[in-house]
Each structure stands twice: as C-alpha cells, then as structure tokens.
Structure 1
Amino acid sequence: MRKVYVAGHRGMVGAAILRHLQNRQAGGEPLELVTRTRSELDLTNQVAVRDFMRAERPDVVILAAAKVGGIHANNTYPADFIYDNLMIECNVIHQAFAAGVKRLLQLGSSCIYPCAAPQPMREDALLTGVLEPTNEPYALAKIAGIKLCESYNRQHGVDYRSVMPTNLYGPGDNFHPENSHVLPALIRRFHEAKRDGLDEVKVWGTGKPRREFLHVDDMAEASLYVLDLPRDVYEANTQPMLSHINVGCGEDISIADLAILVAKTIGFTGKITQDDSKPDGTMQKLIDVSRLSSMGWRARVRLEDGIRETYAWFLDQAASDIRAK
C-alpha cells in the first residue's frame, strides 16, 4: 500500500487532487492518504515539518500547498508571498528527502516565465528574461521550487517532479473581493451586480490581455498523470536542468471576452466597461502544452462548462454561509 501525503489539501488544487485520490481508493487502489490542516502542521516551521515527515514516512508527497493571490494581493504583500512560499518548498522538499521519500510532485505556476517570453511559452523559456513585476516575488519562489527538485534529483537520485499549471479555476476557488484571481473576481462582481440591480460593471484594466484557464479537476487529473508516469518516460521528456512540465488547455481568451462570457453565464445584462487606470499585468500568458500532450494527456473541461459549474458552487457556498448564520 502506498502512503501519499497531500500538502495543501484544503486549497482548491489540493482538494481536487485529494478527491481524485479518494476516488481511486474507493475503486480499490491500495492507498493510504495523509493530510494535515494548517493549524495541525505549519509548513513554514522547519522543525514541525521534520517531525511530521519522520513520524509519517510517506512513500509519495504531493506539494500543493502555497500562498496564492491575484494582482492586488501580490502587489500588496510581496514579502509574504516570497517568504511563505520559499519556506514551504524548502521545508517540505528537504524534509521529505530526509525521511526517505523517493517520489514527490510539486505544483508551481506559469508566472515563472518572463513577461516577454514568446507565446505560447515553452518550458525552456524559464530564466530567459525579466519576470512580470507585479508577481515577481511569488514567481521567484516557484522557480526556486523547480530548482530544488532538480538539485535533489541530480545529487541524491530521487524522483522529484514539477508541474506548472496555467491559471486555474473551479470549485474551492477564492472569491475574495480584493485578493482573488481574475475569473473568480469576475464571477463575484457580476453576481453582486445582478443581485443588487446594477446597470454597469467595471472590469480592471483595458480588457486586452489574454489568459488561459484550466479547470481544477483537469489540473488534478494531469498532476496524477505526471506523477504516475514511469521514471524513464518522464525523464525522456524532460532534462536534468529542465525538469518541469507545463499543464494547460492550449487556448486563451481576452479579459474583455471573458467578462462577457461570465456575465452571460450569470445572467447580468447591464453594461461592461473597462477601468484602464488599473494594471493589466502581462499582455498574454499562453503556455505550450505540447510536451504533456505528447505523453498522452489533454484537458477535457470546456471553459463555458467550467464557469457554469464554478458559479453553481459559488451559489451553493453562499447559501451554506447564510444557513450557517
């Protein structure tokens, strides 16, 4: 029986990965799943992580824990984003190795690529240019995570892998009015505008930037797909100094068109305007997914369907919050 520790199981991605593993478990796969909440285990605490790894001795570690947020959060709390993410990665990866863990998968972000990288962004665009200033601290921490895995592989012969997803969304997303990413922020804004009878919604930026969106269930499926690849297959499609794999759907959409799609899904019929006093961020972020596609995995959830499902989850959570009061 494999013992699998999922770090960050209450986050959007970690929860989706845990659901998929639980489905495998229910289907008869011999798995022992280990989780800890933040109050039970502070991943920024080296001693606590060391003691946990020594006690549990997992066979596999999935590192989905991270401090994440949108443009506003990254701009406002840069020290928190670089410190917390570096500490989580250093503690989990090193203490996993010290406890004898041979296989680990860490999740990063497509923000690791330079803001002027050729589109779509290939894995070998890493460290070839300047990062987007609004999220540079977070991106540097995620790059460090990749290099940690590569270094432990080279020096110690372990099998630590990294997957770099595009923008993720879905059930369990963060809908905070200031600290959320663009898609959940739009869902909340248009929902509240419809609820309050507003006739106009302002969307941050010019609307021209293009973004790629991947449903979190697709990300969970891709993560486990990469984790389960035989080592020779994985290494045949990577390099010792370029060991991460992009995960995305291979299509993008402008923020303006995304706003229209979200408004249509929610049923908001008012005017949509752009607030060009707000930052746009990188003008395009489309990742090259040909490497993962060549290994046999492709995204399945259409954006329209995913937004509809995510909005249904948002409404259900809002109703649950009301009932809880």
Structure 2
Amino acid sequence: MNNTVKIYIAGHQGMVGRALWRALTAKGYSNLIGVSSKEVDLRDQKAVARYIADENPAIIIDAAARVGGILANMNSPYDFLMQNLQIQNNLIDSALQSGVEKFIFLGSSCIYPKLAPQPLKEEYLLTGPLEPTNEGYAIAKIAGVKACEAIRKQYGKDYVSLMPTNLYGTHDNFDLNSSHVLPAMIRKFHEAKENNHATVTLWGSGTPLREFLFVDDLAEAVIFALENKLPDSLYNVGSGVDLTIKQLAETIQKIVGHQGEIIWDVSKPDGTPRKLMDTSKMHALGWKHQVPLEAGIQKTYDWFLENINKYKEVKL
C-alpha cells in the first residue's frame, strides 16, 4: 500500500475516527482527509456525493455513525435507524458511483441475534430476533453490511465490513445521557469518589457478559484490512474475552479509587445476556488485539482526568 494514497475517514472527529487518524499517521500515511458535520452533513445525499466526487479518495473508511447506550437507543429508535441508514447509504453509494475501489464499513456486534449461540460467528447474522433496546441501530448496520456484500458480488470491488465488539478509549463519550456502559461507569465512579465516595447506582443486575476492545486495537484491525485484500465481506473484531458487568464495575471502581457502595437497579434493562465475538477469522489472517482491559481502562481514565473540565458542567 502506497503511503500517499488518499484516504477519507468519515467520522474522523469521533473516538474511532481519531484513533484511525493517529494510527495511520504513525504508520506514515500522509494523505488523510476528513470533514466535519458542519461542513458536510453526511445525512445529505447530494452533499456527500459532491464531496466524494470532488475529493476523489482511493479509499473510504466509514467510522461515522449516530451511536449511544441503552437509554439513548430506547429514547430515539427512529433517529438511530434513519440517521445511520442515511449516513452509510450516502457514503457507500457515493463511493460506488465515484469508483472508489476499497471501502471499509464499521458496524457493531449488536447486528447479531439477541439469543445467538456464543461466541458470535459471522454466519449467525439474520438467524434470529435482535435485542429490542437497540434494534433500530442494528437494522441500519445490517443494511450496511449487506450493501457492501452486494457490491462485492455485483461489482467485484473490495468493500469489507468489520464488526467490532464494545469499544472504549480516549476521546470516548462520557455524557451520562448518551454514553456506553464503560465510559459512563468511569464518570459515575469518579464523581462519586469526589463526593466523599458516595453510593453508585448502576443499571440492571450486573450479570450480563460483555466483551470490550480498546479503540486503538480496532484501528490496527482497520489498517490490517486496508493493507490486505480480505477474502470475505464480514469479519468480527474483538478481544475474545468477556466478563460480567459486575466484574467490569468492580474493575473500574478499583482503577478510579472509589471506595463506596454499588447498588444495582434491577428495574432497569440488562440488554442482551451475553455478547462475545468469535474473532477466529481475523486471527487466522494475522490480526489480534494487543491492549489488556485493565491497561485500556487506565489509559481511558487518564484521558478523562486530563479533559475533565469538559464534563464538569453536567452533573449526575
């Protein structure tokens, strides 16, 4: 792969996009482009088509999406469905129409059925009902996977979908109304520690099992897909290790230094009982994650502390 190849990172200001930009720059890629949502609204078909036609990138990485935790997905199911369909459809179709030969689509492990066998294999897609709390987001991402698969079949282009497990890391979202479980816990435990080690209330029973991947590991997986022509259209990307939400909470509590009580609000939903990715296809090709969970949480908490002024205005 020529390091001067023009690569458009859609969503370059988000957690994943920033990690991709850092990793690609570190590897010597010098022709990266990105555009803010104020400059080009990715929900606007004409604006996206015009931007891609004008810039003419050789490669597009789609790290742009409307994302959020259980609460956000439950409160805005239509927004999560429609806006993600608009964003990815505009990017994928504009890429095809502009002759982009390589497209990397990033999705989520939530595309798999709620009660699929564990660990989740790529072949389990569309074999059962989805988790209701984030069905809209999942359906949108499934559509993106199928669009890339169809382009490979019909046009022979190297369009590939990577489905990461639960991501976390620097530049994460710590807004308690829209964040995912791990960054939300970091903030809750930190603010409780600052408030004389106050009690922390967490959603659900704490029994569901979840897998987590540091965002820099996903960036390396994307670069692996960038620099190699993968034989299939869909690949899982994860650590291959899971733990209960209760174990996650206790790990974060220890790293943050909170010494108060944890209360589990069982009136709130747990979500899917277990989501562990089978990453054997990517492992067989040569990619494997590198950052252990505790080390990744420590890096994320350190970044949160360095940027804490952003979050002080919004209290628990």
| Higher mean displacement: 31-40 or 278-287 | 31-40
1:262 matched to which residue of 2?
252
Distance in 2 separating the partners of 1:245 and 1:83: 24
- 1:116-136 CA deviation, whole Å, 9 max, x = no partner? 000000000000000000000
2:19 matched to which residue of 1?
16
- 1:62-120 CA deviation, whole Å, 9 max, x = no partner? 00000000000000000100111000111000001111100010100000000000000
Distance in 2 separating the partners of 1:222 and 1:151: 22
* Percentage of identical aligned residues: 50
Distance in 1 separating the partners of 2:284 and 2:151: 26
Distance in 2 separating the partners of 1:59 and 1:37: 20
Distance in 2 separating the partners of 1:264 and 1:144: 40
Deviation at 1:319, TM superposition (A): 4.2
1:68 matched to which residue of 2?
67
The count of corresponding residues between Structure 1 and Structure 2 is 309
Q: Name the amino acid aligned to 1:18.
A: W
Which of 276, 285, 288 aligns to 1:298? It is 288
Distance in 2 separating the partners of 1:253 and 1:6: 32
Change over 3 Å in CA distance of 1:73–1:290 after alignment to 2: same
Q: Is the 8 A contact 2:174 2:311 kept in 1?
A: no
Distance in 2 separating the partners of 1:80 and 1:320: 25
Q: Does residue 79 of the first structure (1) align with residue 91 of the second (2)?
A: no
Distance in 1 separating the partners of 2:32 and 2:226: 15
Please list, as runs of the form range in 1=range in 2, the aligned pairs for 1:157-176 lying within 5 A after superposition: 157-176=156-175
RMSD value, Cα: 1.1
Deviation at 1:198, TM superposition (A): 3.8
Consecutive unaligned residues of structure 2, counting only runs of 5 or more, are none
2:33 matched to which residue of 1?
34
Deviation at 1:321, TM superposition (A): 7.0
Deviation at 1:253, TM superposition (A): 0.7
Consecutive unaligned residues of structure 1, counting only runs of 5 or more, are none
Please state whether the residue corresponding to 2:31 is helix, strand or coil: strand
Compute the TM-score of the two structures, normalised by the length of structure 2. Answer: 0.96
Q: Is the 8 A contact 1:70 1:179 kept in 2?
A: yes
Please state whether the residue corresponding to 1:9 is helix, strand or coil: coil
Change over 3 Å in CA distance of 1:303–1:118 after alignment to 2: same
Q: Does residue 251 of the first structure (1) align with residue 250 of the second (2)?
A: no
Runs of 4+ in 1 over 6 A off after TM superposition: none
Q: Is the 8 A contact 1:8 1:65 kept in 2?
A: yes
- 1:252-300 CA deviation, whole Å, 9 max, x = no partner? 0100111100000000011112110110000100010111111111111
2:179 matched to which residue of 1?
180
Deviation at 1:227, TM superposition (A): 2.0
Please state whether the residue corresponding to 1:86 is helix, strand or coil: helix
1:95 matched to which residue of 2?
94
Please state whether the residue corresponding to 2:141 is helix, strand or coil: helix
Distance in 1 separating the partners of 2:159 and 2:86: 17
Distance in 2 separating the partners of 1:9 and 1:167: 19
Which of 302, 311, 316 aligns to 1:312? It is 302
1:5 matched to which residue of 2?
8
Distance in 1 separating the partners of 2:70 and 2:272: 11
| Higher mean displacement: 310-319 or 73-82 | 310-319
